[in-house]
Amino acid sequence: MSIIEVKHLYKEFKIPKRQEGLAGALRSLFHRQYLTKLAVNDISFSIDSGEMVGYIGPNGAGKSTTIKMLTGILVPSSGDIRVNGLIPYKERQRNARQIGVVFGQRSQLWWDLPTIESFELLKQVFQIPADRYRQNMVRFRKILDLDEFLHTPVRQLSLGQRMRADIAAALLHDPKIIFLDEPTIGLDVVAKERMRSFIREINQDRGVTVILTTHDMSDIEKLCQRMILIDNGQVMYDGELAKIKETFGKTRILIVDLEEDIVDFSLAGVEVIKQEGNRHWLKFNRDTITASQLISRISENYNVRDISIQDPEIEVLIRNIYENTLPLIID
């Protein structure tokens, strides 16, 4: 069942046109001209309850504008939006009670207050029952390691600490939907993995629908099965992440460790892209030769110590889609 429905969504912004010279500046006082920028251009998609979806695109693609319309911050120029049956910009307060939002560099916490006092204020704002608030705080303090900075003013928190606090704040009232913008920014490798585990847990255990926007493609790859890719305000791709790899990730790397030192290591249809001692990196196209066929050919001719396959990183695949303007929609 769809919890988010977006149909033929448009959003235009009027930008004042700057006129040159003093005369132009005076004219603009009485007859201001505007340029129209189409930030979102006929976007349609639906998201089912409990889905975890990556909503990605380059800067200026229309991601943030779409999310702000879904949260009720912006009013669409045209089109239809339903978030769990509500029209966000018409029912802002009711919509706010069913969603959680984490906007990267913008905190929802009170800047000069200790973190715990921000949580207490949010408890009052959302009228969270005492038992539920206490249960959530116990869980979040443990999983997100909040105790180390609960009594520290928000303005003194590191970026990573603030992101953890913001995610806890966004989930205090048990929202049905959460919008996450760069949730792992400022975190080290260990903390990133812990944050991903936490997001995965609230999605699986509580059925929270997650819409994730990020420039860290590792977040998308490790958390989301579905990805909506947009550019210039339009949907380029909406489907399984695996389909992107299957369609655009035809080139793979086979890493082979040989028992002996082979100077001239070559196979038809395979490119040796790197060699370090007895280790060789071989690039091949899976449409031309399968990995199993290649491994068999190598094993027949050489003594193999170890072998592994390296798939292309999803970040590289996405960059190639943008740079090479490959086909937009994959059936």
In a domain, 100, yes or no: yes
Could you tell me the CATH number of the domain that includes residue 286?
Answer: 3.30.70
Give the count of domains, the chain: 2
Residues 225 and 275 reside in one and the same domain: no
Residues 228 and 276 reside in one and the same domain: no
Residues 238 and 261 reside in one and the same domain: no
Residues 262 and 235 reside in one and the same domain: no
Domain final residue pick, 201, 218, 245: 245
In a domain, 330, yes or no: no
Instruction: List the beta strands (DSSP E) in 88-216.
Output: 99-103, 177-181, 209-213
Task: In whole angstroms, give the CA distance from residue 102 to residue 106.
Answer: 8
In a domain, 17, yes or no: no
Task: Give me the domain span that covers residue 276.
Answer: 250-311
Q: 243 is written with which tokens?
A: 């389909």
Q: Are 288 and 306 in contact (CB under 8 A)?
A: no
pLDDT mean by block of 10 residues, the chain; 331 residues: 94 78 62 80 95 90 92 95 95 94 82 94 94 94 91 91 92 95 82 88 93 86 90 89 74 84 75 84 81 84 84 68 54 43
Residues 258 and 231 reside in one and the same domain: no
The reported pLDDT for the residue numbered 179 is 95
Q: What is the DSSP string of 241-265?
A: HHHHHHHH--EEEEEEEESS--SS-
